[in-house]
Amino acid sequence: MTFETKVAILVKEDLAMWQKLNVTAFLATGIAGAAPAAMGEPYEDAAGRRHAALLGQPVMILAATREVLQRAFHQAIQRGLQRAVYVEAMFSTGHDVANREAFLAEPADAPDLVGIALFGPRKDVDKAAKGAGMHP
């Protein structure tokens, strides 16, 4: 199946594994919350129990350098893509309010990104994510 839209999560390649997983989880929830159209339907098991809906299409998790993250950030803004962001300073906070304060303190045009999630038309997401690759 080919989708008209795409979800891509770019994560800084030199982070510790726990940081990569943490950033990926937070960014995926950002896209799920901001782009309801990306969500699938709730799941139901054979016993009739309902389970939460997941993103309704594949999610590409890509490795990126700091430069690729910055480029993706600017491309996403120019292309009007839905985006979720995670900056280095957020590793030292402990809750959502502090995370938002940490992001607000970043330079608007050059935040210290360690991850960015993108959602939008497939072609635009591909162009914004150019230079990122699969994690080893």
CATH number at residue 81: 3.40.1490.10
pLDDT band for position 68 (cuts 50, 70, 90)? very high
Judged by average pLDDT, the poorest of 1-5, 70-74, 107-111 is 1-5
- Beta bridge pairs of residue 64: 12
Over the range 3-41, which residues count as b (16 or more CB within 10 Å of their CB) and which as e?
Answer: eebbbbbbbbbebeeebbebbbebbbebbbeebeebbee
Coil, helix or strand at residue 52: coil
pTM: 0.95
CA atoms within 13 A on the CB side of 136: 5
Domain count, the chain: 1
Give the range of the structural domain holding residue 47, as residue numbers without chain letter: 5-134
Q: Give the position of tokens 């990122």.
A: 132
